[in-house]
């Protein structure tokens, strides 16, 4: 079993978006942006997704480089639970690392967002 965790200040994400608007399209998929931007305050949702993407990078040395942020996507299932979908090189590296399943937990408060990712190996 592999575990990755990340925490980020929500204000850091807000400042990144304000300073460099293209940050949104470089980091997040269209589906993630649709979900987050539908919120009155999108920054906690954006920050927790960024934390999840970073947590995936911390799972295994194969994920530490060579994958794009958009290749790790956080989607909300019909029952409201978050799920990680890997695309492109991230999916390829997941196979190389023999990862058989990913679980993610997301949380945010007033100032910080945290994500934990657990991967099972097969």
pLDDT digits (tens, 9 = 90+) for 69-108: 999 999 999 999 999 999 999 999 999 999 989 999 999 9
Residue 4 pLDDT: 96
pTM: 0.95
- In CATH, the number for domain 2-121 is 3.90.470.20
* CA pair distance 105, 73, nearest whole angstrom: 14
User: How many angstroms separate the CA atoms of 57 and 51, rounded?
Assistant: 10
Three-class SS of 27-52 = HCCHHHHHHHHCCCCCHHHHHHHHHH
Terminal CA-CA length for the chain: 9
Sheet containing strand 2-9, strands side by side: 2-9, 112-121, 99-108
Domain boundaries, the chain: 2-121
Query: Which of 13, 20, 37 has its CA nearest to residue 115?
Result: 13
- Per-residue pLDDT at 10 exceeds 80: yes
Does the pLDDT value for residue 62 go beyond 90? Answer: no
């Amino acid at each position: 079993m592999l575990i990755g965790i990340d925490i980020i200040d929500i204000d850091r994400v807000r400042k990144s978006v304000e300073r460099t608007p293209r940050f949104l399209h470089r980091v997040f998929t269209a589906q993630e942006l649709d979900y987050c931007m539908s919120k009155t305050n999108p920054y906690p949702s954006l920050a927790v997704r960024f934390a999840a993407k970073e947590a995936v990078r911390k799972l295994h040395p194969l994920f530490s480089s060579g994958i794009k942020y958009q290749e790790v996507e956080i989607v909300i299932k019909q029952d409201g639970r978050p799920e990680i979908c890997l695309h492109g090189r991230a999916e390829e590296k997941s196979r190389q690392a023999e990862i058989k399943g990913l679980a993610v937990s997301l949380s945010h408060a007033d100032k910080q967002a945290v994500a934990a990712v657990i991967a099972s190996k097969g």
